[in-house]
């Protein structure tokens, strides 16, 4: 078959499928090629995010949170239940249903937008054709004026702790355990390690996280990281910093770990090991040798500020290119590229991309950290407000953490907002909107916030920038 499209997208993760939908909305004849197969072997659109990332992890985080509340937090409300148990098959099965609902939803959206899906591996050929190899090995070539590469990322494998899908697992494996491991080892205290470690800890696993770096959560603001570390320790999550895994031997259904820290080598035996040491851009088989598309030293597709590869009509977005590996970052690049292709003014502001970690308490931030401002020599003012003084948080029995706001010392422009506490995954949006509109701390301070809500912590932190918070000493 030979078919000519305006746009072919390779990869149907949150970057690729969103790019395809936006391109179709703009009247472009669009195809999307994706190789991901679901548990039933059929095409499952949505990439890492919908199949083995954002959505299934949040499903398990929510279920495990309910269980943890039942076993640990309900008593204070006067609620008790005898002998609470977790049925892991139902727990994982519910997650699978949600995944299916959403991957099926992307198929429906493709139909509604008249996007042609191709199931198979796409390889970019010179001249903007794409060779599609179906799961049965059948090949066909399609071509387009524009090709958007959105091939995403895959977990990094440690050579001495290779994934076996049984004892040593990646994120996909950790979302599909069939029973609660007695002892779970997690390598890497990044977003994925913390979230999935929390899931199994809440269900009763003894979880030890080994992190090679000496500082906890060094991507976040230091105050937020400190509060989070304290709360995780209270929950019984063991996090060993400056601890580098050097060996992992599977023996009789156990994994014997060797890690090194400042005191030398140590051993630790676990039943399951989750290796979550980061992800790398995935481009295996994506590019014919003569396309002219370049990869950088980390294997990412090289693009300019408009996500263009430098090869006529070839663009790249999402985890496969520079920038944070976040679903919404990829989606916004997808929208922008579709708009640029259609001759419109696409836009993406990398300075206001929010980060969220869905642990308990949640962690969220946008903009610069205090350290980044210091290093850049930018003068700033700080405002903070604790959830302990927020009526709604206390009523919820979740009065942990704070909102911290950083504003320019002279102009008051909001430069960074860092939150740890209840519901901050939602609260961060207000900070993003303010920063996107180049607003000031005073703008936020003058906005009416409903009482009693968690959002009052944002309001009070903004007031605190100017030393006039009402419900705390300044």
Minimum CB distance to ligand FAD smaller for 122 or for 401: 122
Closest CA to 174 of 131, 129, 205, 144: 205
Has 471 been annotated as catalytic? Answer: no
Closest CA to 28 of 195, 148, 207, 194: 148
Cα gap 461→393, rounded to integer Å: 15
**Do 153 and 320 form a contact (C-beta atoms < 8 A)?**
yes
Cα gap 59→205, rounded to integer Å: 18
Give the H or E element holding residue 59.
helix 54-68
Cα gap 202→27, rounded to integer Å: 48
Q: Which does 14 bind (CB under 5 to 8 A by kind): ligand AMP, ligand FAD, none?
A: ligand FAD
Residues between 169 and 208 with contacts to ligand FAD, criterion CB under 6 A: 171, 192
117 touches ligand FAD by CB under 6 A = no
* Cβ at position 366, least distance to ligand FAD in Å: 13
* Cβ at position 198, least distance to ligand FAD in Å: 12
Minimum CB distance to ligand FAD smaller for 328 or for 408: 328
Q: Which residues lie near ligand AMP (CB under 6 A)? A: 158, 187-192, 210-213, 244-245, 276-278
Minimum CB distance to ligand FAD smaller for 86 or for 194: 194
Alpha-carbon radius of gyration of the chain = 24
Minimum CB distance to ligand AMP smaller for 145 or for 246: 246
Applying CB under 6 A, among 153, 208, 291, 402 the residue interacting with ligand FAD is 153
Minimum CB distance to ligand AMP smaller for 330 or for 386: 330
Cα gap 371→215, rounded to integer Å: 14
Q: Where are the alpha helices (DSSP H) in 155-221?
A: 171-174, 191-202
The pair of three-digit structure tokens given for residue 385, joined into one six-digit string? 């407000």
Q: Concatenate the DSSP letters of all residues of 327-350 into one string.
A: HHHHHHHHHHHHHHHTTS-----G
152 touches ligand FAD by CB under 6 A = yes
326 touches ligand FAD by CB under 6 A = yes
Task: Scan for tokens 């937008």, then name that residue.
Answer: 113
Print the binding letters for residues 42-61 with ligand FAD: x by CB under 6 A, - otherwise. Answer: -----xxx---xx--x----
Q: Which does 63 bind (CB under 5 to 8 A by kind): ligand AMP, ligand FAD, none?
A: none
* Cβ at position 328, least distance to ligand FAD in Å: 5
Q: Which does 10 bind (CB under 5 to 8 A by kind): ligand FAD, ligand AMP, none?
A: ligand FAD
12 touches ligand FAD by CB under 6 A = yes
Q: Which of 72, 77, 306, 451 is catalytic?
A: 451
Stretch that binds ligand FAD, among 10-18, 251-259, 301-309, 339-347 (CB under 6 A): 10-18
Minimum CB distance to ligand AMP smaller for 94 or for 247: 247
Minimum CB distance to ligand FAD smaller for 363 or for 444: 363
Stretch that binds ligand FAD, among 14-22, 233-241, 359-367, 427-435 (CB under 6 A): 14-22
CA distances from 289 to 108, 149, 294, 355, 428 (A): 35, 15, 10, 36, 43
CA distances from 101 to 19, 40, 98, 104, 106 (A): 20, 14, 5, 5, 9
Closest CA to 147 of 304, 305, 317, 275: 317
- What's phi and psi for 465, nearest 5 deg? -55, -35
Residues at the contact surface with ligand FAD, assessed by CB under 6 A:
10-16, 33-36, 47-49, 53-54, 57, 121-122, 150-153, 171, 192, 282, 285-286, 318-320, 325-328, 330
Positions marked catalytic: 451
């Amino acid at each position: 078959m030979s078919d000519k499209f305006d746009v072919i997208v390779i990869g149907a993760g949150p970057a690729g499928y969103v790019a395809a939908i936006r391109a179709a909305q703009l009247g472009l004849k669009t195809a999307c090629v994706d190789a991901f197969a679901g548990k039933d072997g059929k095409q499952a659109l949505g990439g890492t995010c919908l199949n083995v990332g954002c959505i299934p992890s949040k499903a398990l985080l929510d279920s495990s949170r309910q269980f943890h509340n039942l076993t640990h937090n309900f008593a204070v409300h006067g609620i008790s239940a005898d002998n609470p148990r977790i049925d892991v098959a139902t727990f994982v099965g519910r997650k699978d249903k949600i995944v299916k609902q959403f991957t099926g939803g992307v198929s429906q959206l493709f139909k509604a937008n008249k996007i042609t899906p191709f199931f198979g591996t796409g390889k970019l050929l010179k001249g903007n054709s794409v060779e599609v190899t179906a799961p049965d090995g059948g090949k066909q070539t399609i071509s387009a004026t524009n090709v958007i590469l959105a091939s995403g990322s895959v977990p990094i494998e440690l050579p001495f702790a290779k994934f076996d899908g049984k004892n040593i697992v990646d994120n996909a494996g950790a979302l599909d355990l069939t029973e609660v491991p007695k002892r779970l080892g997690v390598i890497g205290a990044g977003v994925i390690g913390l979230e999935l470690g929390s899931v199994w800890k809440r269900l009763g696993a003894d979880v030890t996280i080994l992190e090679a770096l000496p500082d906890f959560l060094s991507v976040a603001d230091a105050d937020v990281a400190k509060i989070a570390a304290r709360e995780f320790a209270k929950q019984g999550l063991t996090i060993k910093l400056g601890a580098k895994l050097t060996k992992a031997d599977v023996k009789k259904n156990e994994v014997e770990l060797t890690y090194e820290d400042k005191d030398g080598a140590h051993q630790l035996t676990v039943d399951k090991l989750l290796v979550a040491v980061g992800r790398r851009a995935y481009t295996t088989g994506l590019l014919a040798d003569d396309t002219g598309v370049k990869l950088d030293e980390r294997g990412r597709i090289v693009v300019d500020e408009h996500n263009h590869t430098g090869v006529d009509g070839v663009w790249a977005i999402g985890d496969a290119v520079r920038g944070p590996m976040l679903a919404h970052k990829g989606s916004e690049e997808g929208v922008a590229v579709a708009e640029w292709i259609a001759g419109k003014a696409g836009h993406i502001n990398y300075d206001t991309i929010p980060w969220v970690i869905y642990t308990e308490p949640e962690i969220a931030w946008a903009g610069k950290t205090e350290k980044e401002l210091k290093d850049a020599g930018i003068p700033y003012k700080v405002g903070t407000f604790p959830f302990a003084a927020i009526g709604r948080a206390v009523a919820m029995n979740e009065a942990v953490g704070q909102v911290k706001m950083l504003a320019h010392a002279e102009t008051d422009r909001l430069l960074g907002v860092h939150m740890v506490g209840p519901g901050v995954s939602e609260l961060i949006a207000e900070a993003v909107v303010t920063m996107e509109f180049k607003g000031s701390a005073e703008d936020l301070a003058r906005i009416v916030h409903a009482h009693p809500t968690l959002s009052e912590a944002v309001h009070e932190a903004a007031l605190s920038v100017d030393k006039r918070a009402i419900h705390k000493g300044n």
